[in-house]
Structure 1
Amino acid sequence: MTHNTIPKIPIILPVAYFNPNAQSTSKNAPIKIQIISSLQKSCNSTILLKYQKNQIRNKMINRVKTIEDSLKITLPKDYAKFINNIGYYDGEYYEVYGFLESFENIDDYPCVIGVTKRYRKDHPLFKQTEIAIHFDEYLNTIVSIDCEDGAVYNTSFLEKEKIAKNFEEWFKDLLRIENKAIQEEQNL
């Protein structure tokens, strides 16, 4: 290939690509679109794999963007990573609010958007820079992240207490507690 030669690669759109050889049946008819299965036949697997990875990455970025735009905050990096990699945690004993594309209503539980909006409106100590990530039934407190400093807090109607320096530390501790409870239950 010389420097002036441009390789011929199909134009990839989010779900399909245009087939330049397709014929329209009328002047106003759209060009036929062939779905990804056609793309798999015409491209090498490396191009397709890169395309699929980009689609997954874009979907994950959209999760974070959806939360940030809806709540008018910037998520701490560790919680954004959780949203990208997991989205929502529904464990044996505990859950962590998050966001998945499959949630039917993002303005309701267990979506971090809906839960946070509710607490912002109804809870006197819940700041506009915080997001709700869990409800501690034992202590009857909201567990939240302050997006300004990334710290995790337990918040009751009377007081707020810092319980972890960041989400990652808090989540690891939550998983440790949950695993311990599961092991104890299995030993009974």
Structure 2
Amino acid sequence: MTIDFNKNTDGLVPAIIQDASTKSVLMLGYMNAEAFEKTKATKLVTFFSRTKNRLWTKGEESGNVLHLVDIKLDCDNDTLLMSVNPKGPTCHKGTDTCWGEDNMSNYGFISHLEAIIEDRRLHSKPSESYVSSLFAKGINKVAQKVGEEAVEVVIEAKDNDDNLFLNESADLLFHYLMLLQAKGFKIEDVISVLKGREK
């Protein structure tokens, strides 16, 4: 890894800090060559503080350190991406990230869909929303719907109509996300189980 510390006159390169598990961006700091070497040696992320004009290990006072997992260098050799396991909140203001966001796993559209299901479950009337109406019928109906959709996926898997197979698969996933919420869970809980099985 050849980092171009000389591209900028101050000898610093930006270091983007990302949670190794959730993939959330936690903060941005700057490193000189000495800070980079100390980070590698101690496995604790260390920056060059422009305000203190010295090396600064994140969490040296608060205890909220960043345990280094991996380092990547961008295509121009002048920006670092550091995967970390944070201990406690990252921001000095006490939030998980320096953007005030919670450090949670995000599964893109799946997380968006979970939020829609939750909103309709909690805030819509059964007459206004299919989701709300299915939840109102109770967990047995939600579970039954998952079973029906699973059978339809199996049937379509044995045919040659890819469009129907994908549509039935989408229906199954949607209703499964509903069933998880009916049981008080989210997809993150299932992923945690899968991670625990990883060998």
Question: TM-score per shorter chain, which class?
Answer: under 0.3
Q: Normalising to structure 2: TM-score of the pair?
A: 0.23
RCO higher in 1 or 2 (8 Å CA, sep ≥ 6)? Answer: 2
